[in-house]
Chain A
Amino acid sequence: MSDVTLLPPAAGGDPGDPDSTTASAAASTDTKADPGTVGQWRMMWRRFRRHRLAMTAAVVLGMIYFVAIFAEFLAPYSPSTRFDDLQYAPPQLIRPVDTSDGFAIGLFAHGYEVTTNEETQRRTVSIDESVTAELGFFVKGEEYELFGLIPWDRHFIGPTDPDNPVFVLGTDRLGRDMLSRLVHGTRVSMSIGLVGVAASMVIGILIGGLSGYYGGAVDTAAQRLIEFIMCIPTLPLWMMLAASVPDDWGVLTKYFAITVILSVIGWTDLARVVRGRFLALREEDFVEAARLDNCGSLRIIRRYLLPSFSSHIIAALTLAIPAMILAETALSFLGLGMQAPAVSWGVLLQEAQNVRSLVSAPWLLIPGIAVVVAVLALNFVGDGLRDAADPYNTGGRRWRKRT
């Protein structure tokens, strides 16, 4: 589904266009560029930069991965810290100005008050506007170890008074801060896509490459295998495989088990892309020339074929990550993927599964927004990379009106 193009068929560039004159240089592997020519990666970057939407998405994506890396520092609390009185506390609005006690500039939020319903004995947490809690940057909070190595107790943002907690995105059923959980969940959700894609890449490139390079019976066999895997409904198969992972496996083992399960199916799309490129490049003159020069097939693949489509592979890999993220979210949502104490966006969304908790705490759906933003950003970046990777495509033009 991902190799559908929005583009019109490659429009041959006009002769004056610098991109099309250097197109042949892009195919060569020469990294020491001759005067007047630009290397393959430089050209790709130039074309990518012209793609405004993709650039914006790349910035967003960079921020998401930044959050994933520095989760402990950026989150005000740890994902498992419980505030026992403050269950299902609603999100708070942050105001830049406080007028409750004169006039002050900074970051302020209100406090919480807990009321108990006499009849049902159910406690509800509501916002108490008479209390003011101040937020600060680099505040002292719970101790943690950054990257599991550096012990520290500073948090990027948090309440200055630890007894007056502030939950920007509210709390969940057990009184845990949703913002902190969301930030920590970013790590698992965003990395599982990368690891899963890396695993699929190995299988995909190997099988796709063999099938495209040798053709014939190897190709037929590989294509049959791919067609077969594609006709099995993905989610039920994933569910069955995920359910057979033993419960007593640790978080890390489970994490790798899930990535392996995701790549069991994920490699097929990549293999198709690689095979397609191989089939197209096999007929190119420079490959023929290398063959006539008596190069072995391994050398041809490594020196001539791989460099000329590695940019395409990177684009295809980027486009494969969102599917992995969505799959992990779906599996964890069903309770078959990652499980508590691990935190991922899917695990967080599982909390919102029944109508009652959804109605009393609609902010539990916020991790869903994170999923959508991440997937959109990856799709845009992937599309931008794919357009930039094609030497015959004169970049950014598709977004402009052609007359």
Chain B
Amino acid sequence: MMTQFVIRRVLYMIPTLIAVSIVTFLVIQAPPGDYLTTVVARLEAEGQYVDRGQLDALRERYGLDESVWVQYWRWITGIVLHGDFGQSLVYSAPVSDVIQERLGLTILLSVTTLAFVWAVAIPIGMYSAVRRYSVGDYAATFVGFIGLAIPNFLIALILLYVSYRYLGQSVGGLFSPEFVDARWNLGKVLDLLAHLWIPVVIIGTAGTAGMIRVVRANLLDELNRPYVVTARAKGLPERRLLIKYPSRIAASPIVSTVGWLLPSLISAEIIVSVVLSLPTTGPVMLRALESQDMYLAGSFLLVLSVLTVVGTLISDILLARLDPRIRYGRR
């Protein structure tokens, strides 16, 4: 049954992925005019030299003189069959190389933030639900409202200012200067961990605030159910009761929040990494968009969307393991 469910969900994902690729391609095509002409004009205005031979090769590669569908077909088959995302004119390097360096850290950052959001929001949300209308509950609600209202790039800016002004150092980046170009070793990993928590906390604020509300509402729905009263009447200690029954039922809607949490975390990651100049996808994507290098930017959009779809799939499968009702019922 479980295998069947997994297969069904994986098959289900395919049309979504195709749709994602079509939308991405349409967005790449959205700016008026010829892609290459625009980029070259931009780059030459910035005083960068572009090789004519390279341009002709690109024109051929993307099939720019042919119909839109031929262009789409060349673009997507290149990616799927050869892992070839094209050539970035801004970085004068294959797009896949540019993406690869950055993507790993983006994934690491997003997954860590996801873990952080859960680790913080679930206990607070549970506390809020159990001790409803207590001082702690009001405090959590208040912090939740503020967290949703402050744009996370603003938190990043404030932190940047405070650390520069009062600590005399910049919090930007994910590595200390001596490790930026170093090869991966234990020292670099530890250095990364020492820097990682700042962006994680900033990116996670809005998600945590939203999550607290979800957890609280879900648990409140369960707390007055007859089975809870029964368990309490049987003399089960309050703490054990809470963890053993209502929390487990309330958990499945919480796991399913990955679907909206992951896209919003990736969005937050992009803007925060621009402010803190982290070596992740954000700054590169912005740079690509500024010089209208749409194929590079589009590749980021495609890869990030695919990652989100896959992330949602994983959470769905976890959910099905957790909650048999989902596995057996119609979706």
Contact = CB atoms under 8 A, between A and B. Distances in A.
B221 A9 contact: yes
Interface string A326-338: 1001100111100
Interface size class of B (residues with CB under 8 A): 35 or more
Contacts of B290: 243, 335
Contacts, number: 158
B264 A234 contact: yes
Contacts of A355: 160-161, 164, 170, 172
B304 interface: yes
A30 B69 CA distance: 55
A232 interface: yes
A12 interface: no
Nearest to B274: A334
B206 to A, nearest CB: 9
A244 B30 contact: yes
B217 interface: yes
B289 A233 contact: no
B145 to A, nearest CB: 6
B300 interface: yes
Among A237, A362, A372, A379, find the residue whose CB has the most chain B CB atoms closer than 10 A. A237
Contacts of B221: 9
Interface string B196-215: 00000000000000100110
Contacts of A8: 132, 220
Given A5-B217, A329-B151, A379-B149, A240 B157 contact: no
Contacts of B32: 244, 246
Contacts of B30: 240-241, 244
Given A1-B260, A243-B297, A237 B154 contact: no
Among A334, A349, A352, find the residue whose CB has the most chain B CB atoms closer than 10 A. A334
B308 A231 contact: yes
Q: Interface majority SS on A: helix, strand, loop or mixed?
A: helix
A131 B145 CA distance: 43
B278 interface: no
Among A4, A330, A365, find the residue whose CB has the most chain B CB atoms closer than 10 A. A4
A358 B263 contact: no
B104 interface: no
B273 to A, nearest CB: 11
Interface in A310-357: 322, 326, 329-330, 333-336, 349, 352-353, 355
A175 interface: no
Contact of A358 (B161, B210, B268, B298): B161
B157 A365 contact: yes
A371 B158 CA distance: 14
Interface in B92-119: none
B161 A330 contact: no
A246 B210 CA distance: 36
Given A231-B16, A359-B164, A362-B161, A372 B149 contact: yes
Contacts of B309: 231
Given A4-B214, A232-B23, A335-B290, A379 B271 contact: no
A228 interface: yes
Interface in B267-321: 267-268, 270-271, 274-275, 285-286, 289-290, 292, 294, 297-298, 300-301, 304-305, 308-309, 312
Closest 5 CB pairs of A and B: A235-B267, A244-B30, A244-B31, A243-B289, A375-B149
Interface of A: 1, 4-9, 228, 230-237, 239-241, 243-244, 246, 322, 326, 329-330, 333-336, 349, 352-353, 355, 358-359, 362, 365, 368, 371-372, 375-376, 379-380, 401-402
Given A9-B221, A230-B263, A240-B27, 5 more contacts: A228-B20, A232-B301, A234-B267, A359-B164, A375-B149
